Homo-oligomer: A and B are copies of this chain.
Amino acid sequence: MSTVAQLLQPVESDLEQLLSDLRALIGAGHPILQAAAEHLFSAGGKRLRPGIVLLLSRALDPAGELSLRHRRLAQITEMIHTASLVHDDVVDEANTRRGVPTVHSRFNSRVAVLAGDFLFAQSSWHLANLDDLEVVKLLSRVIMDLAEGEIRQGLFRYDTGQSLETYLEKSYWKTASLMANSAKAAGVLSELERDQLNQLHSFGRQLGLAFQIVDDILDFTGSDDQLGKPAASDLASGTLTAPVIYAMEEHPSLAVLIEREFSEPDDLDQALDLVRQSQGIQRARVLAESMARESTTNLKFLPASASRDALMDLPDFVLSRLY
């Protein structure tokens, strides 16, 4: 069971460089954004997404080196991810994320909109300058999927008719698309064959889905402190995740509470009890485990290296957050 720092050890200095590059890029000459950039790109975050791109990039190079274009791809990945978080926090009116005040609560929504737009703009500019149309398409698709996912999440609020499939589709858009397409893009820059590119996409897709399912389980099993945001906030805001969708099959009365949007005094507590008493959390865990384990079967073609070993340990890390 490794910590994320141990896991990302082969690219530790790459990640430090990446964060300092991003702080300089975003903050330069813009006092308003400087503070937001310091806030967003300080040490401490998991940086799992650029970490995966960096690990893959090194694992794909015969000499274990990192090209400038791969480095840039990792930056773009983190810019897109951060931009979407900053805007999601405005849309969801969230005040904390990972225990840290959000940009829109620490500054205001004006700065949050501006900072997010600036990050999206920078990412699309740097993306174009990677001079590879396929990479541009892969990452543009991510930007579209993120917007689509955020819209769908709003659309399906309190909608008890949604299936596990709807949930997985939404989770792909919101989380897995970035991991899948950035992994594939790293492969494109390394000039891999088509079927290896598809394997990288499957790897990112399955790992991303497992990651999201684990996150959604933690919303029910974690404390406010562990989560860095109020526990059960997804359910409270009507976002129905895997544990809830499974639990509704067992306890149809749960759907009634959700459909009336927890309007009676004890509704939310009762709903939480129903989810926790059900097999929902356990079934979601089994689903996350199978996806996480399967993800790395796609990486067998990678030659032996410390970076490959770290990638192979990712499922364990993702699942370890549950224990």
Which residues on A are within 8 Å of B, measured CB to CB?
30-33, 84, 87, 90-91, 93, 109-110, 113-114, 116-118, 120-122, 124-125, 127-129, 131, 133, 136-137, 140-141, 143-144, 146-148, 150-151, 154-155
Number of copies of this protein chain within its complex: 2
- Given the complex, which residues of B lie within 8 Å of A125, measured CB to CB? 140-141, 143-144
Task: Please report the C-alpha to C-alpha distance between residue A313 and residue B30 in the assembled complex, in whole angstroms.
Answer: 39
- Inter-subunit contact B91/A150 (CB<8 Å): no
* Least distance between A77 CB and chain B CB atoms (Å): 15
Task: Please report the C-alpha to C-alpha distance between residue A144 and residue B129 in the assembled complex, in whole angstroms.
Answer: 13
Task: Please report the C-alpha to C-alpha distance between residue A128 and residue B151 in the assembled complex, in whole angstroms.
Answer: 22
- Inter-subunit contact B90/A150 (CB<8 Å): no
- Inter-subunit contact A30/B109 (CB<8 Å): no
- Inter-subunit contact A144/B131 (CB<8 Å): no
Task: Please report the C-alpha to C-alpha distance between residue A131 and residue B137 in the assembled complex, in whole angstroms.
Answer: 9
- Given the complex, which residues of B lie within 8 Å of A151, measured CB to CB? 30, 32-33, 114, 118
- Given the complex, which residues of B lie within 8 Å of A128, measured CB to CB? 133, 136-137, 140-141
Given contacts A110-B93, A124-B140, A137-B129, contact A117 B87 (CB under 8 A): yes
- Inter-subunit contact A147/B32 (CB<8 Å): no
- Given the complex, which residues of B lie within 8 Å of A31, measured CB to CB? 155
Given contacts A127-B140, A128-B137, A136-B136, 4 further A-B contacts (CB under 8 A): A33-B151, A87-B117, A90-B109, A118-B148
Interchain CB contact (< 8 A) of A147 among B109, B121, B148: B121
- Inter-subunit contact A91/B113 (CB<8 Å): yes
- Inter-subunit contact A154/B121 (CB<8 Å): no
18 A-B residue contacts at CB 8 Å? A30-B151, A32-B155, A33-B151, A87-B113, A87-B117, A90-B109, A91-B110, A109-B109, A114-B147, A117-B146, A118-B147, A118-B148, A120-B120, A121-B147, A121-B148, A124-B124, A128-B137, A128-B141
Counting chain B CB atoms within 10 Å of each CB, the highest count among A118, A121, A122, A136 belongs to A121
* Least distance between A83 CB and chain B CB atoms (Å): 9
Task: Please report the C-alpha to C-alpha distance between residue A93 and residue B148 in the assembled complex, in whole angstroms.
Answer: 25
